[in-house]
A = this chain, B = another copy of it.
Amino acid sequence: MHDTLENVNDSTVSGLGRLARFFGFSDVMGRLYGTLLLSPNPLSLDELAGTLEISKGSVSMNMRDLERWGMAKEVWVRGDRRKFYAAESDMWQIIRSVLGSREQREVQVALQVLGESIEKLQAAEDELTPEEQELARYYLGRMADLQSLFQFAQLALHAILGNGESLNFDAVTRIEID
């Protein structure tokens, strides 16, 4: 295969590995996704293992995760018993899937815990010594700061995720914050 094609393939695959890492996935997941993305045809487990030079076991486990996140799907090839995989090509859907389930839940939990902390601090006021009361007030101030931060994150996520519409990248041209 021509050098240029190989170079482009390499840098894309390793770049997607890096991106996967950044989002808290494994490097291998990103590389598998990249390999599939740059393959016009679906690839078998053995082909993936061969191309990336990793064990079949690793491919098997990581492909399962990729499927769980909707980043790849199985493709059935008539008359072939093997599993073939293709990359999910709608990247916006992948972003939505990750931001919408994982990230949104994180923010949700954080806000929940903060809310509970605030309630507990307020409820306990009577039992506190004067010094403790002062500290409790201080804590309440910091809790409020953290709350604003996570509320902002929630707003940003909602804005990006929209109201359930699928969103074409090329149509995304303006984001505004007041």
Contact = CB atoms under 8 A, between A and B. Distances in A.
Interface of A: 1-2, 4-5, 7-9, 11-12, 15, 19, 22, 24, 37-38, 40, 89, 91, 95, 106, 110, 113, 117, 120-121, 123-124, 127-129, 132, 134-136, 138-139, 142-143, 145-146, 148-149, 151-152, 155-156, 158-160, 162, 167, 169-178
A91 B19 CA distance: 25
A12 B117 contact: yes
Q: Mostly helix, strand, loop or mixed at chain A's interface?
A: helix
Contact of A117 (B8, B89, B151, B170): B8
A132 to B, nearest CB: 5
A175 B155 contact: yes
A110 B15 contact: yes
Contacts of A135: 5, 40
Contact of A177 (B106, B117, B129, B162): B162
